[in-house]
Amino acid sequence: MNVMEAVGPSLAGVLHRNVFWMVWNTILAWIPVGLALVVFRMGRPGERRLPVSPVWWGGLILLVLFLPNAPYVVTDLVHLRDDIRWAGDGPVVTTVLPVYAAFIASGFLAYYLVLREITRFLDRSGLRSWRTPVTLGVHLLCAVGVFLGRWVRLNSWEPVVEPRGTFERMMLALTWEWAPILIAAVFVATALGHFMTRAVVEAAADSARSGAELVRALRAGRPATDRA
């Protein structure tokens, strides 16, 4: 009871202070997933050519503009220090850290799902050899986007609604002497976050498939086949 009395109010306080911006940033992080499902699943199944429709390319541009919102969540760790200070002598490991961990994991899960759609699209289009270059290119584009979003406070929709002013702000920010260092740091964080998320998700998927096979084998009354 003492643990609950300590954790409950602290957890409620963390959620109360952060619920608005965390929910908003989570929504922005998952918008690219919906766009990716629309963009990369358009066309006839098995079609091995790039779409030429202006609507498709428009959707792809929107996806590129919104995709940095997914890995952007890692930069929201800037708020962590304030929450730890607010917690005072209260529990941090069981309140503040789990909230931030779930928030960041959600963003990188969205990012992983988008990249999975991209790689599957490349495979269907006969461009499997482009998977690694495209993935690295997406990491770099997102690193630039996260830099512009965090340090320039640029929103995903501004290049569309105010292209001239946005371009000037981007050029000014990208010529800043610290820009390459910050972009490189975000690139590494994005790549590592994607790698770790992919490893966890794919390991969980393999375990789920193995479990399903075991259940089917037990129901059929025969031993399960060991998987390599």
Annotated domain spans of the chain: 2-220
> The tokens of 46 are what?
């098995």
Is the pLDDT confidence value at 154 over 80? yes
> The tokens of 87 are what?
């917690």
> The tokens of 216 are what?
């089917």
Residue 70: pLDDT band by 50, 70, 90 thresholds?
A: very high
Is the pLDDT confidence value at 21 over 70? yes
- Contact between 87 and 96 under an 8 Å Cβ cutoff? The reply is yes
- Contact between 156 and 62 under an 8 Å Cβ cutoff? The reply is no
DSSP single-letter state for residue 75: G
Q: Calculate mean pLDDT across residues 158-166.
A: 85
* Cα–Cα dist 225/228, whole Å: 10
At residue 180, the pLDDT reads 94
* Cα–Cα dist 28/62, whole Å: 12
Our separate counts of H helices and E strands in the chain read 8, 0
Q: Calculate mean pLDDT across residues 17-44.
A: 88
pLDDT in tens, 95-127: 788 888 999 999 999 999 999 999 999 998 889
User: What are the percentages of helix, strand and coil residues in the chain, rounded to 5?
Assistant: 80, 0, 20
Is the pLDDT confidence value at 15 over 80? no
* Cα–Cα dist 152/200, whole Å: 33
- Contact between 201 and 112 under an 8 Å Cβ cutoff? The reply is yes
Is the pLDDT confidence value at 43 over 70? no
DSSP H stretches of helix in 69-95:
80-87
Look at the chain and count its residues. 228
b vs e for 78-90, b when ≥16 Cβ sit within 10 Å of the residue's Cβ? ebeeebeeebeeb
Residue corresponding to tokens 């010529």: 175
* Cα–Cα dist 112/33, whole Å: 9
**Residue, of 111 and 160, whose pLDDT is higher:** 111
